Structure 1
């Protein structure tokens, strides 16, 4: 009986180790103020992928955080920085950018005002919670 228990525990340990080894890093970046977080957040995401290119990243935006995903948006502090090309480059590397539909309703924004790289989620806050609790994403707020 001891031998069977020992064998079972070893098998479970190996299975857990294999699962962890095969697990992909997953991170959600939370942006709710584009003026304060967009440039820094996009730089963080780029650096993150430069070091860990297999990381699955979702950027969830709501409130004033959606502004950098508007078509033609630029950094207010440095107007030479246009967000569209930065977002497109990260999208090409597998990053998802999601915009809160509650924010759209509250701010009277239309989906067609956003970059084609943006996707939409019913609630940014709910989406962040789901990514963390249901899908095991780590949380980063730049």
Structure 2
């Protein structure tokens, strides 16, 4: 017994085979595209900006939460303007020391220190003094690729 297909039937079978092949290729390219666009590991670098003493408690809490979510994050807190008073040894010394032990860098603006008559010896231990807080914020963002957060 011989089985023959008409030209129309052959065309339909051929079209079905092509459609299946195209679908298979499309799905495999979607899988490889999904693999290629999966979020890559990144270096989490963030600068928190405190220029108002009222924001310090929130900033310290945010930093603590940030480190829980991203333990290897590189975090700096830059204090300038009235916020410079939060880096004076006293109210925030303990939480600052705890965060410093986890690698957080606390940066004091020298211009603000002069403006508020704060001597370097009055700052929390380990605070880094920079000439201008705004210049440090800019440097961290542009040169070091830190994300900026203002609580």
* TM-score, structure 2 normalization: 0.71
Q: Which runs of 4+ in 1 moved over 2 A?
A: 20-23
Q: Where does 1:1-142 land on structure 2 (aligned, <5 Å)?
A: 21=40, 23-34=42-53, 36-72=54-90, 82-142=91-151
Query: 1:104-135, CA deviations, whole angstroms, 9 ceiling, x for partnerless residues?
Result: 12222110011113111110000000100111
Corresponding pairs, count = 114
Query: 1:46-104, CA deviations, whole angstroms, 9 ceiling, x for partnerless residues?
Result: 000011111100000101111111111xxxxxxxxx31110000000000000000111
RMSD value, Cα: 1.5
Higher relative contact order (CA 8 A, sep 6+): 1
Give the drift of 1:22.
5.5
Instruction: Give the secondary structure class of the aligned counterpart of 1:58.
Output: strand
CA–CA distance in 2 between the matches of 1:23 and 1:39?
28
Instruction: Give the secondary structure class of the aligned counterpart of 2:51.
Output: strand
Higher strand share: 1
Asked if the contact 1:87–1:117 (Cα under 8 Å) also holds between the matched residues in 2, the reply is no
Give the drift of 1:21.
4.3
Unaligned 5+ runs, structure 1: 1-16, 73-81
CA–CA distance in 2 between the matches of 1:84 and 1:107?
19
CA–CA distance in 1 between the matches of 2:120 and 2:85?
12
Asked if the contact 2:109–2:132 (Cα under 8 Å) also holds between the matched residues in 1, the reply is yes
Larger-gyration structure (1/2): 2
